[in-house]
């Protein structure tokens, strides 16, 4: 399992099915949809937590996969 701590929340990256960032002028929110939830209500990160999470997700996405 891959966990990341952002602010006061801990997120299991293995359960993330989709994440989207929304940016308005200086404000940013990141909505994280988790797999296995019946109603699929997103977990929302705002302001500094959103920026930190999005930077981390971009970093993980660009990392090469070991073969």
Q: Quick one: tokens of 38?
A: 């019946």
pLDDT of residue 38: 67
Q: Quick one: tokens of 1?
A: 């399992």
pLDDT of residue 31: 93
CA distance 40 to 65: 29
φ/ψ (deg, to 5) at 49? -60, -40
pLDDT at 37 over 70: no
Report the greatest alpha carbon distance in the chain: 41
pLDDT of residue 50: 92
pLDDT band at 34 (very low <50, low <70, confident <90, very high): confident
Question: What is the reported pTM?
Answer: 0.78
Mean pLDDT of 53-59: 89
Q: Where are the alpha helices (DSSP H) in the chain?
A: 47-62
Q: How many CA atoms lie within 13 A of 3 on its CB side?
A: 5
């Amino acid at each position: 399992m891959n966990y990341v701590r952002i602010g006061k929340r801990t997120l299991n990256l293995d359960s993330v099915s989709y994440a989207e960032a929304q940016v308005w002028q200086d404000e940013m929110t990141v909505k994280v949809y988790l797999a296995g939830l019946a109603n699929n209500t997103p977990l929302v990160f705002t302001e500094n937590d959103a920026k930190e999470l999005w930077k981390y997700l971009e970093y993980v996405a660009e990392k090469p996969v070991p073969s």
